[in-house]
């Protein structure tokens, strides 16, 4: 993964309450979530500056844990929710409902994956898709980028690399050497092991929640460009399909190409390459959209960085090692990067502590985990939640949903100016809508408590 200039992070009005911002602005394009109203066409973005360590960028007024706990207990009288609320700066517990009990986290697992990714990799690093020449043929070599687009001018944020650009550069190089006919093989060997995660249901593929994990794919391995949190069906063979799309673009640029066979690009001569958006932008995207394909891809990049196999087991081992080095591994046991696995177990306390470290710790690059979280009533997987409540625009959190599982974890700027972190988890629920409503009421109560 090559290093490039680090991108700036997207900032909302919520973040302006929490962090100091520096100069410089630009325009980014935001992909609307399916079935939800689109975001504004352009959003100002600025580089996050680390708050002064003596103030941590928050008010001195503390929140009363006793009053908060009493209020939250009334919202879950049956005690079915486990969870915790922490003071973001001191990590003091203000509310605790069996917070050391591990539960299935669903997509709040992406908080764990994103933390490890940003800690292990240069946030400006990118995944590279290459074309090499070998033995009179071309080889399309996957670098692990699931966002590689089949479109000529993709309109999304973060702007992905395009197969069209890769084909254009390749065609120019071939024709410069007098070559107008070629066969294209494909190499997806960067990843190893199963394409189906531990405990994953095969229906995850058929319903479009995720594509078979591969180092070479276009459009997240789907039959067409997949919108934010889209559920388009995956293609039958991701690497072969990516090569078919590449060959179609080569033909448009005047090269008669044919799809070959699986092969190795090792030892080949570089012809062309394109690069994914930087890691920091991909983390913001996967957190906002709950993108399972990007989550699994970045978890494997951590494995590669640590010299481990780019497999589910290798990625899980690598993520665990990074968390241990950060001192936030306690209460975290994950088997995949996306949270689709029902074998994952995380405690609310483990999540809340990790979020506190990301929000107010010493490592500024980890702030991207926070900037990527959806804003209640505004963006991503929270765009249609908290509407018409005091929590809208105040709660920033990652959602999680599986069969019988609903979770919510994130940050809240309390009405007195104190930054709080929280994690609420419900397992074994029959009515997911009702469970999510309770989670939302708990988060709103944290933000509005007169305590």
Residues designated as active site: 107, 110, 290
CB proximity list for 292: less than 8 A, separation 6 or greater:
107, 209, 210, 338, 339, 340
Comparing C-alpha atoms, which of 297, 360, 317 is closest to residue 52?
Answer: 360
Q: Residue 95 in contact with residue 451, Cβ under 8 Å?
A: no
- Of 350, 308, 305, residue with least CA distance to 329: 350
Give the integer Cα–Cα distance in Å for 18 and 394.
Answer: 11
Q: How far from chain centre, in Å, is Cα 376?
A: 17
Strand duo 395-402 + 27-28: pairing: unpaired
Asked if 237 contacts 94 with a C-beta cutoff of 8 angstroms, the reply is no
Give the residue among 194, 170, 191 at the shortest CA–CA distance from 182.
170
Angle 287-292-296 from CA coordinates, rounded to 5°: 100
User: What single-letter DSSP state applies at residue 222?
Assistant: B
Tell me which DSSP letter residue 2 carries: B
The residue assigned the tokens 């973005």 is: 45
Burial class (CB in 10 A: 0-12, 13-18, 19+), 179: middle
Q: What is the DSSP string of 33-48?
A: BTTSPPPPS-EEEE-E
Among 122, 100, 93, smallest CA distance to 298 is for 122
Whether 396 and 385 have beta carbons less than 8 Å apart is answered as: no
Give the separation between CA 68 and CA 63, rounded to whole angstroms: 8
d(C-alpha 233, C-alpha 225), whole Å: 11
């Amino acid at each position: 993964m090559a290093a490039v200039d680090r991108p700036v992070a997207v900032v909302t009005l919520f973040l302006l309450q929490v962090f100091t911002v520096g100069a410089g602005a630009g325009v980014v394009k935001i992909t609307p979530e399916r079935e939800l109203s689109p975001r504004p066409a352009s959003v100002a973005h600025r580089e996050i500056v680390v708050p002064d360590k003596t103030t941590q960028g928050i008010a001195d007024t503390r929140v009363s844990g006793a009053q908060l706990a009493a209020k939250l207990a009334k919202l879950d009288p049956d005690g079915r929710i486990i969870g915790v609320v922490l003071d973001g700066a001191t990590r003091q517990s203000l509310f605790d409902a069996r917070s050391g009990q591990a539960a299935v986290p669903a997509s709040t697992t992406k908080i764990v994956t994103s933390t490890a990714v940003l800690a292990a990799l240069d946030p400006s690093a990118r995944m590279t898709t290459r074309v090499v020449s070998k033995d009179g043929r071309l080889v399309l070599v996957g670098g692990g980028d699931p966002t590689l687009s089949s479109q000529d001018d993709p309109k999304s944020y973060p702007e992905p690399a395009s197969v069209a650009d890769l084909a254009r550069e390749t065609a120019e190089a071939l024709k410069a050497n007098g070559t107008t006919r070629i066969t294209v093989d494909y190499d997806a060997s960067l990843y190893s092991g199963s394409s189906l995660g531990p405990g994953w249901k095969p229906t995850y593929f058929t319903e479009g929640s995720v594509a078979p994990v591969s180092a070479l794919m276009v459009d997240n391995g789907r039959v067409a460009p997949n919108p934010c949190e889209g559920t388009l069906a995956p293609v039958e063979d991701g690497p072969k399909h990516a090569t078919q799309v590449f060959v179609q673009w080569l033909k448009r640029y005047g090269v008669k190409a044919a799809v070959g066979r699986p092969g190795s690009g090792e030892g080949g001569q570089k012809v062309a390459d394109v690069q994914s958006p930087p890691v920091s932008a991909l983390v913001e995207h996967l957190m906002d959209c709950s993108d399972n394909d990007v989550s699994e891809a970045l978890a494997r990049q951590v494995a590669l960085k640590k010299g481990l196999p780019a497999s589910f087991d290798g990625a899980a081992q690598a993520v665990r090692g990074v968390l241990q080095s950060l001192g936030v591994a306690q209460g975290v046991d994950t088997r995949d990067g996306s949270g689709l696995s029902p074998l994952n177990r995380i405690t609310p306390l483990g999540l809340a502590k990790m979020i506190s470290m990301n929000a107010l710790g010493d490592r500024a690059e980890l702030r991207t985990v926070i900037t990527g979280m959806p804003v209640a009533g505004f963006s991503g997987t929270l765009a249609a939640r908290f509407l018409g409540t005091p929590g809208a625009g105040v709660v920033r959190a990652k959602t999680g949903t599986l069969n019988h599982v609903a979770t919510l974890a994130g940050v809240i700027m309390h009405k007195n100016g104190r930054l709080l972190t929280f994690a609420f988890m419900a397992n074994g629920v029959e009515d997911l809508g009702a469970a999510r409503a309770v989670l939302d009421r708990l988060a709103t109560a944290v933000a509005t408590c007169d305590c």
